[in-house]
Structure formats: structure tokens, C-alpha cells
Structure 1
Amino acid sequence: MLRSYALWIGVMLCLLAGCDPGEPTYKVDLRVRETPSVQQEDHSITYAYLPQYSHTISYQKHHQLVAYLRQKTGLNIRQIFPDTFDGHLEMVGQGKIDLSFTNPYIYIQMAHRYGAKAFARIVEKEGGARYKGQIICRADNPNIHSLEDCRGKRWIAVDPWSGGGYLFPLTLFHDHGITRSDFQEIAFSPGPGGKQEKVVLAVCAGKYDIGTIRQGTLDVVVNKIDPRAIRVLAETNWYPGWVFSSRGGLDPEIVAAVKTALLALDSKDPEHRPILEAAQIVGVIASVDADYDAVRDAVRQIDGPATP
């Protein structure tokens, strides 16, 4: 008992020794709180490739281009990756995407809803500054040989906002008197990114009778399927190509700097060639909003005059 008491006395003496009677005391009011300041990151310009392919492919195609733009403009441009076409649209509306590389169907929606402005478009090896959609089926499908044979069939498209993978083929079907109601089913490629590839794989696996993709997609999936397993049933008309656009309100000087850098890309320049080859383009030309009126006409043909 005495030993415990002595130990207690010793502890108290140690505690008292640690207190300086000359040190002022402070009253703490826990009701008053101060939010610590956080150092803000330097402002960056966000660049997004519409997720028609997987994020990995989107990165592989454009990360050299983004690095080139950073170098040429001096701007802190970084690539971000929306998961879906709808997500891309929403992020533009929220001001989270400054620069977009999209199909023309998404572009006219961004322009109508959020004031996006086209300033350049790509030139491809096949088609130049235009591109088109393709309707595909299994090569060994004995029941499909023409567009008329697509009636009553199961159709998988890329996305409701896809140009080559939905809008352009739908317009072609309408030109032949075939409407949405004539199909047994219209499905859209599931999940984030990789939508074009998934259409081809779904048709190849026999899950759907026909699929619609943009021209060039079959070249992307040559390592995943036997290309002889797929037959191109029909191709759509040509439409203006993929477009670079800026969100509404973005500083015009930023847009001008990026546009100048893009237009300077030259396939004959050994430093530029790898950039263009990775992006699977041969160059970039100037563009304006009116270049996409043909796409607006296609939308009106399908959905009526009230559409943008």
C-alpha cells in the first residue's frame, strides 16, 4: 500500500516538474474553427478524347499529341478520360473539359447546349477530312446479304451519340425505308470506353446479327479477332470528320495557340510523323461550326425539325 502511494506521489511530482508556472495559459474556444488553407495547383487546360475506344487506346492515340501541344503552346494541357459519351457531354457543360476531340454528332450537341466552338478537324488517310459509318455482320451469316435483310434483326450500335456508329447508319437505313421500329432490337455497346471494339466483338460472337461502327474500327481489332470473320454489309455517305472544339467561354488566346500548333503538324516532319501516326491521322485543317450543318441535316432527317 505504501509502495503504491509512493509511486503515485512520484508521478505527480514529475508532472508538476514539467509545468512552468511562468508560462501563460490560453483558453481554447472549440466553437471557433479555422479552415486550413490549401495551396492551389497551377491551372491546367483539360483535353478529352471522346471515349469511342478504351481509355488505353485513347491514351496511346493522343498522349504524344497532348505532349506536343504542351511544348508548342507553353500551356499546361493534360488529357482526361470521360467514361461515356454522355459523361463527356456533361463534363463540357460543367466546364471540366476545355478542349474536346469528338465526333461531329457530339460536337453539334455541345455547340447547341453549351456554346462549344469548332476550330479544327482531322484529315485521315482514307476519306481526307471526311469519314463514314459501316454496317457489319458475321461473314458466315446466311440470312443477311443486303440492307433489306436487316429488318427484324438484332442490331448493336456504338452509342446513341455516335456518328459513324449509329447516326450515319440510321440515316442510311431511313434512306432505304427502314426505321428503328423495323428492328427486333437496337442495343448499344455497354460499359465505359471501348465501345467500337465491343460492337465488333459482339457481332463476331453471334450475340447480335448486325453492328454499326465507324470506318477504321476493324483495323483496331485485328489482334482480337480474325478479320475474315466480319463482313462489311454497307457503308454510309461521307460526313465531316472528327473535330477539335473549345468549351464556351474558353480564352480565345488559348484556342488560337492550340489551333496554330495543330495546323502546324506536318507528316513530312520527322518529329511530327510519330505524333500523327499514333493518332492515325495525316494532318489537321481549320474548321468552323458551319462545316457540321450536314450532320445537323442528318439528325433532322431522323428526329424532325426541332433538333439542333
Structure 2
Amino acid sequence: MPQYSHEVSYARHNPLIQYLAKETGLPMRQVFPDTFAEHIRMVERGEIDISFSNPVVYVQLAKLGAHAFARIKEPDGRPSFRGQIIVHSQNKAIEKLEDVVGKRWIAVDPYSAGGYMYALGYFLDHGIHAKDFREIAFAPGPGGKQEKAALAVYAGKYDVASVREGALDIVKDKINLKHIRVLAVTPEYPGWVYAARKGMNKEIVAKISRAMFTLSMDNKEEAAILTNARTSGIIPATDSDYNTVRTLIHKIEIDDKDSTLQAPSSQQVQRVHNAE
């Protein structure tokens, strides 16, 4: 999924792809959709066999018949991750969470978990609704959306941004992170998930699973593959692991019957203006 630029995604995951191809004897190649919505459509059309996506997108894929079989552990060993709400450190108009009311928010994508949905759920838990923002914008694609959201706040184009935990590490060579302040951190939700498309051969999925689960940080070569992919291990997953994410989505849809999550079009406008 294009949360980062295609170059970053290729560099991170190609060693894992090469490992899986060697271990399973299956021909494999990476696929690079330009948008989150395109990723979903490609899975639906059978153009992606194994999807690596955030939990929010997985819930949508499950409705199309895809099923989770593996998920990653974060570099620190947690099988879950969080979102971060960030502001420019010199923005004196935002000192506490309540100060975001009436401000401009740039999120990663309507389907982004840590970069949008987790933050929106966190705002709702604190009595702040989408309509309370002067503007909600989504980072333009293709790819690199996490970086673009962070850079937009750094440049002062927006007051607040939401990114997934760890995204700031991607831009540390482009900006001075001392000028970025983490205003809040969302609750944890289960990690990024590998899902097989509807109708995929179960024996092939099992073969890929075994190769994934064999990877160990105790093996030097395998540790390099995992570290490069920004994970400390791949563990089994089931569909029910993501029920907490379904609950979050339901809460957001109740709050906003016109939620962009429900029916984003292929030509989705990058900016959503919530002001009357």
C-alpha cells in the first residue's frame, strides 16, 4: 500500500520478496498501486494476490473475501501500532489537544489507519468532531503520503497533521525534527496485515506463511531482511484480530454519516472542506 513513496516501499520489502520467492519456489513481484483506493480495487479484481495493508484497509478487503493470515510486529516487538498527531513546535496557537478546533488538519488518506482513522477516533474520544476543523485535507499521491503530511505541517501549510508511528523517521533527513512536536498519541491497534485475496490457493498461502513465520531475528541474514522491512517478526493472524478496528470504524461512521471511508471514489478530491 502506498503509505510511503514507491522507492521506499521497494527498498524496504524487496529483500523479503526475494527471500519468499527462494524459500517457496514461487515467482513473486511487488505491485505498486498509486492510491489506497486503487490498492483495494486491484485486490478485488484479483490483480494482487497477497496484500500488505494497514488494518483499516484490511477490514475493507475482508468484505471482498480476502482473509488475514499474518501480521507484523513493530521494530520494538509490539504486534500493534499507533498514530501520532503532530504540529509545528513554533505554532503557539496549538498547545493542547482542544486547540485544534477551527484549525486546518492534513491527514494521509481517507483509508489511512495511523495517518487518519486512529487520529479521528482519538479526537472523537475527546469530544472533537470532523466538522470542528476548519479544513481536513488528504496528502496528494501517488505514494509518499506519510512524508507529505509531515512536511506540510513543517512548512506551515497546515496547522496539524496525523501520521503513523514511525513515519517521522522517514523525513528526518529532510527536516529538523526539533521543529515537530507530537501533540498526542492514539491508542494501539493490531499491526499491518498480510491477506490473501478471495479464491487464492490455500496450499500456496500456507507455503508463504511457513516461510514468513520461519524468519527470526536470531539469524543474522534473516534479521537483516526483517530490519530492512521495519519489523521484528511476522506472526500468525486471523480475521477476528481486527474486530477492534471494525469497532473504531463503526464509531466514526455513526458520528459522520457522510464518512469518506464509506464510499471514496477513484477520483476522490484531495481536500475535504468541513466548514459551512
Shared topology, TM-score over 0.5?
Answer: yes
Pick one of 244, 263, 267 that aligns with 2:194.
244
Deviation of 1:127 after TM superposition, in Å, equals 6.0
Name the structure 1 match of 2:19: 68
Give the letter aligned to residue 153 of structure 2: V
Counterpart of 1:267?
217
Task: Check conservation: 2:2, 2:143, Cα contact below 8 A.
Answer: yes
* AA at the equivalent of 1:79: Q
1:101 maps to a residue whose letter is F
Q: What CA deviation, in whole Å up to 9, does each residue of 1:234-271 have, x standing for no partner?
A: 00000000001100100001100111110001011012
1:97 matched residue in structure 2: 48
RMSD: 1.4
In 1, distance between residues paired with 2:31 and 2:129? Answer: 36
Q: CA deviation at 1:277?
A: 1.1
Aligned to 2:61: 110
Per-residue deviation, residues 10-58 of structure 1 (Å, max 9, x unmatched): xxxxxxxxxxxxxxxxxxxxxxxxxxxxxxxxxxxxxxxx110000000
Paired position in structure 2 for 1:56:
7
Deviations 1:186-215 (A, max 9, x none): 000002000000001000000000000000
The one of 153, 174, 181 equivalent to 2:131 is 181
1:304 CA drift (Å): 2.8
Runs of at least 4 residues off by over 6 Å: 305-308
2:205 is aligned with 1:255: yes
- Residues 134-171 of structure 1 show CA distances to partners (whole Å, capped at 9, x for unaligned) of 00000111010111000000000000000000000000
Task: Tell me the SS of whatever aligns to 1:140.
Answer: coil
Q: Give, in angstroms, the shift of residue 126 of structure 1.
A: 3.3
Query: Using the alignment, how far apart are the partners of 1:70 and 1:126 within structure 2?
Result: 27
Provide the C-alpha distance between the structure 2 equivalents of 1:155 and 1:293, rounded to a whole number of angstroms: 27
How do 1:6-21 residues align onto structure 2 when only pairs under 5 Å count? Answer: none
- Name the amino acid aligned to 2:114: G
Letter in structure 1 aligned against 2:211: A
2:28 is matched with which residue? Answer: 77
AA partner of residue 246 (structure 2): R
CA distance in 1, matches of 2:114, 2:96: 19
Which among 145, 150, 153 is matched to residue 100 of structure 2? 150
CA distance, structure 2, for counterparts of residue 277 and residue 203 of structure 1: 29
Give the counterpart letter for 1:56 in structure 2.
Answer: E
CA distance in 2, matches of 1:92, 1:250: 11
Larger radius of gyration: 1
Distance in 2 between the 1:294 and 1:263 partners? 24
Number of aligned residue pairs: give it: 258
Tell whether the 8 Å contact from 2:24 to 2:207 is kept in structure 1 after alignment.
Answer: yes
Q: Deviations over 1:66-89 (max 9, x none)?
A: 000000100001111111001100
**TM alignment of 1:16-27, pairs within 5 A:** none
C-alpha distance in structure 1 between counterparts of 2:160 and 2:106, whole Å: 6
